[in-house]
Amino acid sequence: MQLSLKNIIYGIVIIALTLSCKLVFANNISWSGFSPIMAIALVSGMMIHQKHSTFLFPLIALIASDVIIEILYLNGLFGFPGIYSYQFLNYLFLSVLVITGWLLKGKSYGAILIGIIAGPTIYYLLSNGWVWATHGGYQRPLTLQGLGMCLTDGLPFYKNSLLSTLVFVPVLLMIYHMLSFKKLAMKLQ
């Protein structure tokens, strides 16, 4: 991916969106998970031509917002840390959404809508399955009933991540396309 004005502006926009949503929604448990990050991963997979570069936008947005949240946390200005022990797994699970975006490249609106639903669903199943399998957080029994309990625990996060992905994929696609117009000028004429 070349360092262009379009990519710099898009990077700034997605970092600002990610950080803003974390600051506004993350501390409120009823809105936890409302974030553009899954949409960023899907759109990156759909729009960026070089596959090895498709992971950069979601990774940059996550790292930047996580570091800022960590700084706020260390100064007593945020309720939980931005850097945590299982963070790498979240990044890994989100990379599956980038790959889902690859599959959506050039597809119909209906296929994109299916991808918008599939992305957060895959993430929800992976992350809650991991929490259950490793006894992270809730200590649910390693039975089918325990898995069901763990999946139920994650439903509020899933609902918010699904809703935010439905909102942010169209927004990010519009922003990306606006920045891609050949006549885009960043100066007064």
Report the domain count for the chain. Answer: 1
Q: Considering the domain boundaries, does residue 66 fall inside one?
A: yes
> Is there a domain that residue 188 lies in?
no
Would you give per-residue pLDDT tens digits along the chain (189 residues)?
Answer: 566 787 888 889 988 988 888 888 877 778 988 999 999 999 999 988 888 888 999 999 999 989 998 999 999 988 888 888 888 898 999 999 999 999 998 888 899 999 999 999 999 999 999 999 988 667 889 999 999 999 999 999 999 999 999 999 999 999 988 887 754 444 433
In a domain, 151, yes or no: yes
Q: Which CATH number belongs to the domain containing residue 151 in this structure?
A: 1.10.1760
86, 75 Cβ separation under 8 angstroms? no
Q: Kindly report the backbone phi and psi dihedral angles of residue 111, in degrees, each rounded to the nearest multiple of 5, phi listed first.
A: -65, -40
Give the torsion sign (CA, 46, 49, 51, 54). negative
Q: 103 lies in a domain? A: yes
* Residue 187 located in a structural domain: no
Asked whether residue 189 is domain-assigned, the answer is: no
Long-range contacts of 117-121 (CB under 8 A, 24+ apart): 117/162, 119/38, 119/41, 119/42, 119/165, 120/38, 120/158, 120/161, 120/162, 120/165, 121/158, 121/162
Q: Let me know if residue 96 belongs to a domain.
A: yes
The answer to whether residue 186 is domain-embedded is no
Domain that holds residue 82: 5-180
Task: Indicate the pTM of the whole model.
Answer: 0.88
